Structure 1
Amino acid sequence: MEKEIRKLVELCEQELTSREYTFNRHRIISMTWEDLIQWMAQREYDIFDECIGFKYCDETFGSRDLSGIQKKDQLPLRAIRMLISYQKEGDFEFRTPSVLRSFSGQSGQLMETYLTHLRENVCLKKATISNKRHYLYYFNNYLEKNTIALKDVNADMIADFYCCQNYSLASKHNCNSTLKLFLRYAYDSGMTDQDNSIHILPDSYKKQRKIPTTYQEEEIHRILKAVERASAIGKRDYVILLLASEYGWRSSDIVNLKFEQIDWDRNTISLSQQKTSSAVIYPLLSSVGNAIIDYLKHGRPQTEEPEIIVSCETGKRGKKLSRPTVHSIVSKYMKRANIRHWQQKKHGPHSLRHSLATNMLKKNVSLPIISTVLGHQNTETTNGYLSLDFSSLKQCALPTPGLKTGFYEE
């Protein structure tokens, strides 16, 4: 762990270069690090650590997370947090947290114990635990702010909590489930004398089918053309975008693609979907095959990992990519391609999956075939894309009969 600030900054500068940060972004980050070095020198700090980094953030930005931070300070704040995470873990943190969710009070301690139980004993996924932490954090804040003990939780208090949060129906539904299980755990662990989970009333929420976010074929082509394929990172990103747009793969399937799934002799690529376990065999398109070969020959770092697509970053070089990284890659090239209103729409790999389905519909491809390509276990799942086939829907419109009435003047 490098503690000398200038040597640490030098290592992080190399990392910025290897990740191909834009000139302006790189400049702002470097200037922030220089300001930090001067700040440390004025206070005669010899070494850098997390405490020093957060003290600088508190004095300079008034916060160590994004809560209450002005837009102009967001990147400088991230620059300091990059130093902290690189020093501790050898890599930049994925994104600056909006809120550092730390629990307080007796109820907060139990919540931390509960989350540890879910992670170590129930073995829930990290994303699931993060979702539960989100709702428990705000519930803990409500309890502490109103000095309410867990044993005093009742239906009226729960209703007031929801009024304060102003949750959507979907968020309230998810929060209901989280609080119910937690309060039952509190009772089972002896923290409360009665099972207060009975105060979490069932809701009538039914998930409504949302209209999928899609992009036109011309926009997909622009996204692909936006990739600078001369670099190792560009070669990797191009493969990711092709798998998402040409095959409609989810991010979980992209990051888990292995050499054994490609049959070069038969020109096929097989997939057992992570989400549904459905097995699908795709033709190995020349565009995809050539992109993979180019990446393997000239872009993929030397590694023993079985996955084809791996990280190029110094701290994680040769390691398997994470799913959020795939989302960031797709968003990056949507921005670079100047796709209209991409920030107001879904802009991850799943949006390219939806786009593939709707563009196939426009070409009169049958639903069973689209369902097979997407790996849907039930064709009913694919029916949701019918709502976006406007040209076909217009053919279903019935003529409006003439209205003869004296109510309207001729």
Structure 2
Amino acid sequence: MGWRTKIIDYKSYLQIERNLSKNSIESYISDIYKLVNYLNDFNIGSAPISIQKKDIQQFIYEIAKIVSPRTQARIISGLRSFFDYLIFEGYREDNPLDLIKSPKIGRKLPDTLSKPEIDKLISTIDLSHPQGERNRTILETIYGCGLRVSELINLRISDLFFDEGFIKVSGKGDKSRFVPIHHTTIKYINTYIHEVRNHITPHKEDSDIVFLNRRGKRLTRQMIFIIIKNLCAKANIQKTVGPHTLRHSFATYLLTEGVDLRAIQQLLGHESITTTEIYVHLDNKYLQEVVENFHPRSNTSRKEK
């Protein structure tokens, strides 16, 4: 059986059995097709149930010439998962990637913006522009609630529970959670909805979506990246900044203010605390203060206060 059939079956498995998000599934499938394209380019007629380790190794060798070690590691991980699926379904008895090691990569710490940098970024928005109020509200919502970009662009008016102080967002794998929302963010969203959005005629399928473009359709992920990139250039912020930077900055600020890591985990919608723990590595000054204030030999420990 050919690659196309197995990839379609695998895609269904990722959707139904693993309940992965659309973006995650597309990433997995795209990496498998990189291998398929390589096999086609070099006239290697190996099928998914018969491909050997040597063919995979040669593919990894070729792909390593054009991608970063981190991307290479992701491709290897994704292919390993695909062949594990084939074993699970009884099409193979072995995984040709079992003995192929991923390149060693260091932990990549995300860029963050300080509170003054966030304020500077938002202050550069031209509020006289028709989209200015919307763009300010977008940044305030991502930063103020720690949202993923996918959660922002799919936020619905019917998911705004302002009287209760929460919004409902759909995270990875379509898992929903309630996120507390600050009164200042509520103010920005209400202003946008009642003074800007009400002058836009939404497309039928996006009538409940909060953030719309001028044509009444929901914004794309790419558009959010472009908005932030342009604002960073205008604010002369030299860091690599995207929507996720604002999410990281929100979490890092809470951490440095003493918020418990478990609470941050819940706010961000992380399944595992180990994902949240990356923020601990962002601020050595915070760790030093923790030791000074809470170490059992500290003169200012909580017991003595």
Structure 1: how far apart are the matches of 2:76 and 2:61? 14
Find the residue that maps to 1:130 and give its secondary structure: helix
**Greater Rg over alpha carbons, structure:** 1
8 A contact 1:257–1:309 mirrored in 2 = yes
CA distance 1:263–1:181, change in 2 (3 Å):
closer
1:225: how far off?
A: 1.2
Structure 2: 5+ residue stretches without partners: 293-305
How far is 1:183 from its partner? 7.2
* Alignment check: 8 A CA contact 1:114 1:182 kept: no
2:300 corresponds in structure 1 to none
Which one-letter code corresponds to 2:286 in the other structure?
A: S
The structure 2 residue matched to 1:174, chosen from 77, 89, 92, is: 77
Report the equivalent of 1:216.
114
Deviation at 1:128, TM superposition (A): 4.1
Per-residue CA deviations over 1:5-42 (Å, capped at 9, x if unaligned) read xxxxxxxxxxxxxxxxxxxxxxxxxxxxxxxxxxxxxx
Contact preservation (8 Å) 2:160, 2:168: no
Report the AA paired with residue 348 of structure 1: G
Distance (whole Å) between structure 1 residues aligned to residue 132 and residue 264 of structure 2: 29
Cross-structure match for 1:309: 211
Asked if the contact 2:87–2:93 (Cα under 8 Å) also holds between the matched residues in 1, the reply is yes
The answer as to whether partners of 1:153 and 1:196 remain within 8 angstroms in 2 is no
- Is the CA contact (8 Å cut-off) linking 1:235 and 1:295 kept in structure 2? yes
Write out aligned runs for 1:107-146 (5 A). Answer: 110-117=2-9, 123=15, 126-146=22-42
Matches of 2:236 and 2:33 in 1, distance apart? 37
Q: CA deviation at 1:216?
A: 1.4
Decide whether aligned partners of structure 1 residues 177 and 225 sit closer, same or farther in structure 2, where only a CA change above 3 A counts: same
In structure 2, do the counterparts of structure 1 residues 224 and 196 end up closer, same or farther at CA, with 3 Å as the change threshold?
same
- Larger CA deviation: 324-333 vs 299-308: 324-333
Cα offset, 1:232, TM superposition: 3.1
Q: Within the alignment, does 1:364 sit opposite 2:261 as a pair? A: no
In structure 2, relative to structure 1, the CA distance for the partners of 1:377 and 1:120 (3 Å cut) is closer
For the 8 Å contact 2:11–2:25, the answer to whether it is kept is yes
Whole-angstrom CA distance in 2 between matches of 1:181 and 1:376: 25
Residue identity in the other structure for 1:389 = D
Instruction: Indicate if the aligned counterparts of 1:250 and 1:353 stay in contact, CA closer than 8 A.
Output: yes
Which residue of 206, 214, 220 maps to 1:322? 220
Q: What is the SS of the residue equivalent to 1:280? A: strand
CA shift at 1:126, angstroms?
4.6
C-alpha separation between the residues in 1 aligned to 2:145 and 2:191?
Answer: 19
SS at match of 1:245: helix
Secondary structure, aligned partner of 1:319 = coil
Q: Check conservation: 1:214, 1:351, Cα contact below 8 A.
A: yes
Distance (whole Å) between structure 1 residues aligned to residue 179 and residue 41 of structure 2: 56
Paired residues for 1:4-403 under 5 Å: 110-117=2-9, 123=15, 126-150=22-46, 153-166=51-64, 168=69, 170-177=73-80, 180=83, 195=92, 198-203=95-100, 209-266=107-164, 268-275=165-172, 277=175, 279-286=177-184, 288-300=185-197, 301-303=200-202, 304=204, 305-312=207-214, 317-342=215-240, 347-377=241-271, 379-395=273-289, 396=291
SS at match of 1:355: helix
SS in 2 for 1:279: strand
Q: Is the 8 A contact 1:309 1:320 kept in 2?
A: yes
Matches of 1:257 and 1:248, distance apart in 2: 13
Once the two structures are TM-superposed, the CA of residue 248 in structure 1 deviates from its matched residue by 0.9
Q: What amino acid maps onto 2:212 in structure 1?
A: V
Cα drift, residue 355 of structure 1: 0.7
Corresponding position of 2:295: none
CA displacement at 1:197 relative to structure 2:
5.8
Structure 1 residue 220: deviation in Å?
Answer: 0.8
Cα distance change of structure 1 residues 375 and 175 upon mapping to structure 2, 3 Å threshold: closer
How far apart, in 1, do the equivalents of 2:231 and 2:220 lie?
18
* CA shift in 2, pair 1:334/1:139, >3 Å: same
Q: Secondary structure in 2 aligned to 1:214?
A: coil
Structure 1 length normalisation: TM-score? 0.56
**2: distance between equivalents of 1:362 and 1:202?**
42
Question: Superposition RMSD on alpha carbons, in Å?
Answer: 3.6
Alignment deviations for residues 210-261 of structure 1 (CA, whole Å, 9 cap, x no partner): 4232111111111111222223322222111111111111112212222233
2: CA distance, partners of 1:133 / 1:373: 30
Instruction: Output the CA distance in 1 between the equivalents of 2:99 and 2:78.
Output: 11
Amino acid at match of 2:213: S
Aligned-residue offset at 1:361: 2.7
- TM-fit CA distance, 1:388: 1.7
1:349, distance to aligned residue in structure 2 (A): 1.6
Unaligned runs of 5+ in 1: 1-106, 189-194, 398-410
CA contact (8 A) 1:136 1:178 kept: no
TM normalised by structure 2 equals: 0.72
1:111, 1:136 within 8 Å by CA — same for their partners in 2? no
